[in-house]
Amino acid sequence: MAVMTYREALNLALREEMKRDDRVFVIGEEVGLYEGAYKVTQGLLKEFGPRRIVDTPIAESGFTGVGIGAAMTGLRPVVEMMTFNFALLALDQIVNSAAKMNYMSGGQFNVPIVIRGPGGPAHQLAAQHSQSMEVYFYHVPGLKVVRPSTPMDAKGLLKSAIRDDNPVIFIESETLYNIKGEVPEDPDFVIPLGQAAVRREGADVTVVAYMGMMYRAMEAAEELEKDGISVEIVDPRTLMPMDTETILASVRKTHRVVVVEAGAGFAGMGSEIAAEIQEAAFDDLDAPVERVTGVPAPMPYARNLEKAKTPSKERIVEAIRRVCYQDGNGSH
């Protein structure tokens, strides 16, 4: 195991897959000469050359369409969105072409494309650059949606996404690029898509959270441990397909659930997870499913307002106490 940042783990995954398979190439804005807006593609142009690390104009619909066409002819493109907010400009290509081509061609065309880049709350990037975009994609049949929370996940899941024959939406987080963790250096190490991870074992309540919210949930769990509340944390990692079995197994153990997401709550990820739990494990619940979500407002630029919009450790603690029927003094 090596200790590396989330950014370095993504870079290693790209480098390994490009060495392993010469059909893999990267295309996007500033991926080459500038080495990536967030330096995920650092060193790749020098190693692989401009035919496989392709700088583009600012034209998301155009270069995403180029990627989809390349995938249909047998290549395996990785399309970088400088930020996933810009994927809005390529929604027609992603939703109407990439997601549906296999179905509409009767299985004649696969579209093995990965569309990756950062999304969700960032560091004061305001309303147009801080949206949690996964909701736009996870209910589109034909797309897989991945949100890796740790450096190990970043490497293992990106490698699986590149090898997958389906279009994969791979949303990273600007706030996680510098976090460090252990990452296997084995070039054959992959994490299968559709497998959740139990990040923390607990007995009293299950918290389902991913990306930055998983780290807030960890902080909440450590605080509540002092009061004797044992929190289990499940990270879905892949949102589509969702590993509901791991989530349900945890719910049947703890009998209480809090779902945390940075995006606005209405029709969000938490709504879907709550519905799955209600349908499959209603009789196992000792309390209603709680959701902690972002405030349904545009992301403000001001740091204090940005924090107010995004779920905090304190809000997660309050939700956990509610499902455990405890007030702040630890009494029932």
DSSP SS3 for 290: strand
Q: Which residues pair with 115 in a beta bridge?
A: 79, 169
> Could you read off the pLDDT of 34-66 as tens digits, one per residue?
999 999 999 999 999 999 999 999 999 999 999
pTM of the predicted structure, to 2 decimals: 0.95
Chain-centre distance for alpha carbon 212: 10
Contacts 24+ apart (CB under 8 A), 56-60: 56/27, 56/28, 56/29, 57/29, 58/29, 60/86, 60/87, 60/89, 60/90
Please check whether residues 156 and 218 belong to one and the same domain.
no
Q: What is the pLDDT of residue 109?
A: 96
Tell me the CATH number at 30. Answer: 3.40.50.970
Predicted confidence band of residue 192 (pLDDT cuts 50, 70, 90): very high
What one-character-per-residue DSSP string does 30-95 give? TSSTT--TTSTTTTHHHHH-TTTEEE--S-HHHHHHHHHHHHHTT-EEEEEPSSGGGGGGGHIIII
Domain assignment present for residue 226? The answer is yes
Domain termination residue (choose one: 137, 158, 183): 183
Per-residue burial over 238-273, b if 16 or more Cβ lie within 10 Å, else e, is: bbbebbbebbbebbeebbbbbbbbbbbbeebbbbbb
Question: Residue 164: which residues within 8 A CB-CB, separation 6 or more?
Answer: 112, 114, 144, 193
- 121 falls in which pLDDT band (50, 70, 90)? confident
Domain membership of residue 297 (yes or no) is yes
Claim to verify: residue 87 and residue 221 sit in the same structural domain: no
Look at residue 124 in the predicted model and tell me its pLDDT. Answer: 82
56 and 178 housed in the same domain: yes
Radius of gyration of the chain (CA): 20
Same domain? 105 vs 178: yes
Nearest-angstrom CA–CA distance, 290 and 98: 35
What are the pLDDT digits (tens) for 209-235?
999 999 999 999 999 999 999 999 999
In a domain, 328, yes or no: no
Same domain, 10 and 153: yes
- Same domain membership, residue 124 and residue 69: yes
CB 117 within 8 A of CB 84: yes
Q: Side chain identity at 28, as an amino acid letter?
A: G
Whether 284 is covered by a domain: the verdict is yes
Confidence of residue 328 (pLDDT cuts 50, 70, 90): low
Cross-strand partners of 197: 235
Overall average pLDDT of the 166-182 stretch: 96
The domain boundary, picked from 183, 208, 239, lies at 183
Which of 187, 176, 208, 193 shows the shortest CA–CA distance to 289?
A: 208
Residue 311 has pLDDT above 80, yes or no: yes
- Check whether 147 has a pLDDT greater than 90: yes
DSSP state of 299: P
Domain CATH code at residue 292: 3.40.50.920
Pair 208, 266 in one domain? yes
Same domain? For 145 and 263 the reply is no
- The answer to whether the beta carbons of residues 243 and 208 sit under 8 Å apart is no
Q: Looking at 129, 174, 232, 290, which residue is catalytic? A: 129
Q: Answer yes or no: is 332 within a domain.
A: no
Structure tokens at 257: 């659930």
- C-alpha–C-alpha distance, residues 161 and 157, integer Å: 6
Q: Is 222 helix (H, G, I), strand (E, B) or coil?
A: helix
159 and 233, same domain (yes or no): no
Query: How many angstroms separate the first and last alpha carbons of the chain?
Result: 44
Number of structural domains the chain divides into? 2
Same domain, 134 and 258: no
| Mean pLDDT for the stretch of residues 19-26 | 98
pLDDT of 331 higher than 60 = no
Q: Which domain holds residue 108?
A: 2-183
Percent over 70 (pLDDT), the chain: 98
Boundary-marking domain end, from 121, 152, 183: 183
Confidence band (pLDDT; 50, 70, 90) for 329? Answer: low
Which of 35, 60, 172, 232 is an active site residue?
60
Question: What 8-state DSSP symbol labels residue 202?
Answer: -
255 is catalytic: no
In this prediction, residues 88-105 reach a mean pLDDT of: 97
Domain match, 80 and 140 both: yes
The H or E element spanning position 292 is strand 290-294
Q: Read off the pLDDT of residues 268-286 as tens digits, 9 standing for 90 and up.
A: 999 999 999 999 999 999 9
H-state helical runs in the chain: 6-20, 44-48, 60-72, 91, 101-104, 134-137, 151-163, 212-225, 244-254, 269-281, 303-309, 313-323
- Told to judge if 129 belongs to the known catalytic residues of this protein, a careful annotator would answer yes
Residue 11 domain flag: yes
Q: Are residues 221 and 170 in the same domain?
A: no
In a domain, 330, yes or no: no
Any domain includes 275: yes
